[in-house]
Amino acid sequence: MGKPTRDPKARQEKQEKRKQKQTRSNPLVKVTALSVGVLAVFAGVVFYLYQKGGIAYNKGPVPIDATLTKANPTSLLMIEEFKAKNMSAFVVGYTGEVGKELVRQLVQSKVFERVVLIGRRRVQYEAPVDQNVEQRVVDFDKIEEHRDAFRGFDVGFCCLGTTRGKAGAEGFKKVDYDYIFNTAKVARENGCSHFHLVSSQGANKDSFLLYPQVKGQVEEAVSALGFSRVTIYRPGMLMCDREERRPMEAFFRFLLRPVAAVFPTFITIPVPTVARAMLQSTVVPSDSKAEILENKNIHERSQRWPM
């Protein structure tokens, strides 16, 4: 007896099933499918929240200043009037992305007679920055021993911050709460009247997550120190290429590029936008003693800065 002849159609179906099984078991395919799925869900959530007007975080005792969101652009005359006061300012956290850009714009705008950078190490700058700033080295773990370094300033800019991944949970709390609060306390006791604090979108002292919880706690603590004015900034994802390696952040920044193109003020922000908003908030007076600027508010203030 001869061998039974196989049905060509059945043999083709068997081969197709084998190919499908191999494709499903391919790790690259799995990762790609997962990434597409995550991106689709994320985009859906973003669109839903945008349609709802975003999220109102931490509606606590620190009021959100809405006075200036409908104001006219900052006039050059107003800037000149501020310059005539011959004020001085200090910056802590000047090696981070926001801090570096803030220093650059402070030097460029010349709104302060004197700008002093206070930190753990000196930084080599090129002209014109190196000729227009002073640097003072302090130990933030022993800030009380460096009280004189914070004496004589009208305005303080705080851009300090790290991550749990970089510093660990305890290290993160030390930098993002202890260093910031102690700096603000010493500055207030030495006469600083307006304190700027760069926080983060989603800051909430009641959050069960460490990062937003600590951010919210330090916001509240600094606001209670008695400054004449406190301005808190809650930027979203900073759209920049960091010098330090943060793979996860870079991945999410890549995913958020399409979102930023469609909804630019929702959860992303360029670093120069934050710095311009800080300068605008400095020059233009506010009726609020303490104010929180969410991501969209930061975009709006930045647009009114003429430089």
Cis peptide bond N-terminal to 128, omega within 30: yes
Query: What backbone torsions phi and psi does residue 294 show, to the nearest 5 degrees?
Result: -75, 175
Number of H helices, E strands in the chain: 11, 9
Spatial separation of the C-alpha atoms in residues 233 and 222, rounded to whole Å: 13
What is the C-alpha to C-alpha distance for residues 237 and 300, in angstroms, rounded to an integer? 16
Q: What is the DSSP string of 241-306?
A: --SS--HHHHHHHHHHHHHHHHSTTTSEE-HHHHHHHHHHHHHS--S-SEEEE-HHHHHHHHHT--
Taking the C-alpha atoms of residue 201 and residue 278, their distance in angstroms, rounded to an integer, is 16
Size of the chain, expressed as the number of residues it contains = 307
Q: What is the separation, in whole angstroms, between the first and last Cα of the chain?
A: 94
Phi, psi of 190 (to 5 degrees): -100, 10
CA 93 to CA 158: how far, in whole Å? 6
Cβ 235 vs Cβ 198: under 8 Å: yes
Q: Which active-site residues does the annotation give?
A: 211, 215
Q: Are strands 114-119 and 134-137 parallel, antiparallel or unpaired?
A: parallel
The continuous run of DSSP H or E covering 76 comes out as helix 76-83
Please provide residue 170's backbone torsions phi and psi, each rounded to the nearest 5 degrees: -70, -40
